[in-house]
Chain A
Amino acid sequence: MADKLEGRVREIFEDKLYAVVAVPRSDGTVQSVVSWVDTDGDNLTVNTAEAHGWARNMRRAGTATITVMAHPYEWVTVVGRVESDTHEGADEQIDALAKKYLGADSYPFRKPGEQRITFTLRPERITYVNHRADPVRDAVADGPAAG
């Protein structure tokens, strides 16, 4: 368990892999959505729009867990604390994410009047799992891909 994005973990977040963002709801359940993700080096960033429920949830909870699979047997999950939440630069950031994921120069799904938000999450707990080398041995570790 680490709290720094480095090595393979950082590479996985720099790669154009889709993330599952899990946010606690106030009723004790977990909301989970698929999202683009990026890193500014130390933190993870995600981008959403004011109209989306998970933005409100993330503000209230102040925490989210972001999981990315490089492969079913190699994945990383980061528990993050919401460090900042801003409209400033959020349009540019969604364009940068569209470039990363789609190769597009600007975000093609923008809706008229949509207010984008950038959430920055500081990693508090990083779990990196890699069973690609030795799935049998690693299957006894916590939280394995193989069940």
Chain B
Amino acid sequence: MADKLEGRAKEILEEPHYAVVSIPRDDGSVQAIVAWVHPDGDNLAVNSAEGRAWPANLRRAGKATITSMATPYEWVSVAGTLEDDTHEGAEQHINELAHKYIGTDYPYLQPGEQRIKFTLRPDRVTYVNQG
């Protein structure tokens, strides 16, 4: 168990694998959604839009676990604490993610949509390689 993103754990998150973001709900259950993810220095960044349920939940909980599979037998899971939550640069960030995953600027932006960039600091990094 590590608390740094490095080696294969970081590489997997740099590759265009979709992530499952799991967030504790206040009723004790877990909300999970599929999202784009990318390392941001030592941290992980995800992007959402105001008005959705999961960013509200992430703000309340202040933490999330992000899991991404390179293959079913090689995957990484990062439990992180919310470090930053900002509108600034969030549109540029969703465009960067879109380039990584689909090779274009983000094509789904809605009129008036306010994007959010969330940055999570890794507290616990689990890398599994069952070969």
Contact = CB atoms under 8 A, between A and B. Distances in A.
B64 interface: yes
A98 interface: no
Contact of A63 (B30, B101, B110): B30
Q: Is the interface of B mostly helix, strand, loop or mixed?
A: strand
A72 interface: yes
Given A24-B28, A129-B34, A30 B22 contact: yes
Contact of A146 (B30, B36, B63): B36
Interface residues of B, number: 44
Nearest to B115: A147
B30 A22 contact: yes
Interface stretch (A4-12, A42-50, A136-144): A136-144
Interface residues of A, number: 36
A90 interface: no
A100 interface: no
Contacts, number: 119
A20 B110 contact: no
Given A29-B65, A145-B35, A147-B94, A140 B30 contact: no
A124 B28 CA distance: 13
Contacts of A145: 18, 34-35
A77 B24 contact: no
Interface string A115-139: 0000000001100010000011001
Contacts of B9: none
Given A24-B24, A30-B65, A142 B30 contact: no
A34 B17 CA distance: 14
A64 interface: yes
Contacts of B124: 29
B48 A29 contact: no
B34 A75 contact: yes
A143 B65 contact: no
A30 B29 contact: no
A137 B23 CA distance: 25
B20 A142 contact: no
Interface in B14-52: 18, 20, 22-24, 28-36, 46-49, 52
A29 B79 CA distance: 7
Nearest to B123: A29
Given A24-B28, A63-B28, 6 more contacts: A24-B24, A65-B31, A79-B30, A135-B107, A144-B108, A147-B36
